[in-house]
A and B are shown apart, each in its own frame.
Chain A
Amino acid sequence: MTTVADPKAPRLPKPGPGRRTTRGNTELYGWIFMRASGVLLIVLIFGHLFVNLVAGEGVKAIDFAFVGGKWSSPLWQVWDLLMLWLAMIHGTNGVRTIINDYAERDTTRLVLKSLLYLAFAVVVVLGTLVIFTFDPCPSGAPAELLPSICTA
């Protein structure tokens, strides 16, 4: 009579170069981050969309003076910085999951994820620099293009 393996026994690791799906608890922290950042992003993005698309003249009113006026306030600088970082990490982790699910060849996954992380780094660094080094009243620019605070 043959005995059946204990169903609760830990699974033996696959021999050969298998795909390691998790390393420690990082996937768990990623899973929690998606939910926590998602809730914050709902508040940040709904506020962003309301102020930029619904209030006032809506999308028609968006120009340099509009952006300059907003970023003259620390509130919108922090708001947009938080939104940039949370949305980029949330989105990059989401696309990473999708690449892991659908790209079956090791090299395909490596190439796609390298491009993804490069895009992440470029966009986050560029966006952060713009928020903090932005000058709402650049000298030499025509006054009618600038926010009203520049002439005050």
Chain B
Amino acid sequence: MPAAPAKAPAGTLYRGREGMWSWVAHRVTGVLIFFFLLVHVLDTALVRVSPEAYNDVIGTYKNPIMGLGEAGLVAAIVFHAFNGLRIILVDFWAKGPKYQRVMLWVVLGLFVVLMAGFLPRHLMHVFGGE
């Protein structure tokens, strides 16, 4: 006889479905942003070396591959930001745990709206030529 499917115990919203996957995505995007931040401070520090050194390194970033990477970075930041607000509401708002699932769909909706505003403008800068 097949085992009954594992059911999340009552009282936790961090096992299975929206609660768990948003938690996983929050960790993954957080780590990505952190490692970008380390590199970002190091390359910006080149302004202290010389204008040429900074412009040379930034110049190597100005290509379509890095442009798409920047779009992915902004996407990670936007998700982490809105989902972070959702976590704050789950923790501090009395009805937060009850509406955590709905709030994730609101987060994803806001994500789509913001990215729809950002992506065309950014991709125009990246692929638009001179």
Contacts and interface: CB of A to CB of B under 8 A. Distances in A.
Interface of A: 35, 38-39, 41-42, 45-46, 49, 53-54, 57-60, 62-65, 67-68, 84, 87-88, 91-92, 94-95, 98, 119, 123, 126-127, 129-130, 133-134, 138, 141-142, 145-146
A145 B55 contact: yes
A54 B121 contact: yes
Given A60-B125, A94-B34, A141-B51, 20 more contacts: A35-B88, A35-B92, A42-B85, A45-B81, A49-B74, A57-B125, A58-B122, A59-B70, A63-B54, A63-B55, A64-B54, A67-B47, A84-B41, A91-B33, A123-B38, A126-B41, A134-B47, A134-B48, A138-B50, A141-B50
Given A53-B70, A53-B122, A95-B31, A35 B91 contact: yes
B55 A42 contact: no
A95 B32 CA distance: 10
B77 interface: yes
B59 to A, nearest CB: 8
**6 closest A-B pairs by CB:** A58-B125, A64-B51, A91-B34, A145-B51, A38-B84, A127-B41
B91 to A, nearest CB: 7
Interface of B: 27, 30-31, 33-34, 37-38, 41-42, 44-45, 47-48, 50-52, 54-55, 58, 62, 67, 70, 74, 77, 81, 84-85, 87-88, 91-92, 118, 121-122, 124-126
B111 to A, nearest CB: 13
27 contacts: A35-B88, A35-B91, A35-B92, A38-B84, A38-B88, A42-B85, A57-B125, A59-B67, A59-B70, A59-B126, A60-B62, A60-B125, A64-B51, A64-B54, A65-B51, A68-B47, A87-B37, A94-B27, A94-B31, A94-B34, A95-B34, A98-B31, A123-B38, A123-B41, A123-B42, A126-B42, A141-B52
Contact of B55 (A41, A64, A84): A64
A71 to B, nearest CB: 8
A46 B81 CA distance: 9
Given A88-B37, A146-B51, A67 B30 contact: no
Given A38-B88, A42-B85, A91-B34, A54 B118 contact: yes
